[in-house]
Amino acid sequence: MKIHEYQAKQIIAQYGATVPQGHMAQSVEEAVKIAKNLGGPVQVVKAQIHAGGRGKGGGVKVSKGLDAVKESATAILGMQLVTHQTGPGGQKVKTLLIEEGMDIKKEFYFSILVDRASKKIVMIASREGGMEIEEVAEKTPEKILKEWINPVTGLRPFQVSRLAYALGFDQYGKAAVKGAKKLFTSLYQTFIQEDCDLLEINPLIVTKEGRVLALDCKMSFDSNALYRHPMTVELRDLDEEDPAEVEASQHDLNFIKLEGEIGCMVNGAGFAMATMDLIHDYGGTPANFLDVGGTADEERVENAFRIITKDEKVKCILINIFGGIVRCDMIASGVVKAFKSVALKIPVVVRLEGTNAKKAHEIINQSGLEGKLVMVDGFGPAAQKAVELAKAQG
């Protein structure tokens, strides 16, 4: 689950992180009023959408004076903001963050995430703030610093000191070093206490006066831990999320919409990713990632089917199930029921192996849907057939 920048800054401030003064606005008039109350010669008008790259897309404007704030707010509010993370359709801007302008001396990159390889939390930092960290990692990997944190001992004082000095905060005075160490510690506490899976500050800045602040903040949370944070759940902006993904979450389905033409229904996350890879190998593109889970029942399968078929780009559906805990005959019954209720007009390739697979084949063969539900034996042949049928649809 993701939240907006202004919400993320409110959370990290509760743990002691220093952020610029600012408030959320949903109208031009409100934006001007906030800017007037903030005072100062410069304010920044920032679009609030769940995507990075807002500045490059025209969604962040430095504004000198109230007339400039009004002009910036008018231009940004309601625009269809397109960034490298929104896709070509962009995202409509409904909310703004109006902040005090900062006298920036230097920008840095900082983030905290879970390193699954080491089974530790890792802090990642770079002097190349404001840039895409992927670009920095590709072109100048030596500029990226990492500090792994033992989950038993937690973050140690020497680690924040080492990171602060390695980033060169001592060049900006003792106050800057102290501020950086305080900020790193508070962000780590936020990450742990709020059950985050990502906390990114880009840029983290030091001002000419030596103040260290989080100028931007991106946060996402471990969905499995949200039951511990009911107030965080209330921050969820459903308008910013794909409707199909929202619906899928309501049915306990792991679903991510993609841009391809072959819908996928698979049980098991790793199996689903392997299915998507195989579709690519045969020249197709998956329309989604969908894991119905190891304990799927007929109702969940039917809901999954409905969600996939709402995507008009889908030209064929590949159902790839290996029955261990889940029974293949139950999946087959759910597929037949869903196919008839949705009145689908595109082909569906079905590969069912494992528990009660023979019975599942009988259910499909006796469904009266010959030519519409295509049974295929084998992982590779099923993916290949789905690609062939999708291309045949034109």
What does each C-alpha distance from 143 to 21, 124, 127, 166, 199 come to in angstroms?
A: 30, 10, 7, 10, 20
Which of 241, 273, 307 delimits the end of a domain?
A: 241
**Taking residues 197-211, what's their average pLDDT?**
95
Query: What's the pLDDT score for residue 331?
Result: 81
Question: Which of 51-60, 115-124, 153-162 is least confident?
Answer: 51-60
Active-site option among 99, 128, 194, 200: 200
Residue 130 and residue 254 in one domain: no
The answer, yes or no, to whether residue 30 has pLDDT greater than 90, is yes
Query: What's the pLDDT score for residue 88?
Result: 80
Domain that holds residue 69: 21-101
**Who wins on pLDDT, 83 or 27?**
27
Q: Specify the 3-state DSSP secondary structure of 360.
A: helix
Residue 178 and residue 62 in one domain: no
Question: Which of 50-59, 80-89, 244-253, 379-388 is least confident?
Answer: 244-253
228 — phi, psi (to 5°)? -85, -10
| DSSP tag of 377 | -
Residue 314 and residue 248 in one domain: yes
Residue 56 and residue 73 in one domain: yes
Number of domains the chain is built from: 3
Q: Using 50, 70 and 90 to split pLDDT, how confident is the model at 374? A: confident
**Taking residues 252-273, what's their average pLDDT?**
87
What does each C-alpha distance from 185 to 159, 161, 171, 178, 245 come to in angstroms?
A: 10, 10, 20, 11, 34
Residue range 120-169, pLDDT digits in tens: 999 999 998 877 788 888 888 888 999 999 989 999 999 999 999 999 99
Question: Which of 29-33, 107-111, 238-242 is least confident?
Answer: 238-242
Residue 69 and residue 162 in one domain: no
The answer, yes or no, to whether residue 252 has pLDDT greater than 80, is no
Q: Which CATH number covers residue 62?
A: 3.30.1490.20
Query: What's the pLDDT score for residue 296?
Result: 61
Which of 69, 101, 133 delimits the end of a domain?
A: 101
* Token couple for 160: 């924040």
Query: What's the pLDDT score for residue 311?
Result: 86
Residue 266 and residue 388 in one domain: yes
Which of 213, 241, 269 delimits the end of a domain?
A: 241
Would you call 109 a catalytic residue per the annotation?
A: yes
Q: At what angle do helices 328-342 and 298-309 cross, to 10 degrees?
A: 40
Residue 162 and residue 296 in one domain: no
What does each C-alpha distance from 263 to 8, 87, 271, 337, 341 come to in angstroms?
A: 34, 19, 15, 18, 18
Q: Using 50, 70 and 90 to split pLDDT, how confident is the model at 243? A: confident
Active-site option among 6, 99, 109, 261: 109
Distance, in Å, from the CA atom of 15 to the CA atom of 201, rounded to the nearest integer, reads 15
Residue 201 and residue 299 in one domain: no
Instruction: Kindly calculate the radius of gyration of the chain based on its CA atoms and give it in whole angstroms.
Output: 25
Question: Which of 148-157, 189-198, 325-334, 382-391 is least confident?
Answer: 325-334
Residue 327 and residue 225 in one domain: no
Average pLDDT, rounded, for the chain: 90
**Taking residues 375-390, what's their average pLDDT?**
91
Q: Using 50, 70 and 90 to split pLDDT, how confident is the model at 294? A: low
Query: What's the pLDDT score for residue 339?
Result: 79
Q: Which CATH number covers residue 207?
A: 3.30.470.20
Residue 145 and residue 2 in one domain: yes
* Token couple for 343: 């009145």
**Taking residues 264-288, what's their average pLDDT?**
91
Q: For 317, what's the count of Cα atoms within 13 Å in the CB-facing half-sphere?
A: 26
Which is nearest to 93 in space by CA: 83, 78, 82? 78
Distance, in Å, from the CA atom of 353 to the CA atom of 332, rounded to the nearest integer, reads 11
Query: What's the pLDDT score for residue 208?
Result: 93
Residue range 83-103, pLDDT digits in tens: 888 778 788 999 999 999 999
% of residues, the chain, pLDDT over 70 = 98
Residue 182 and residue 48 in one domain: no
* Token couple for 201: 């500050």
Would you call 200 a catalytic residue per the annotation?
A: yes
Q: Which CATH number covers residue 261?
A: 3.40.50.261
Residue 161 and residue 65 in one domain: no
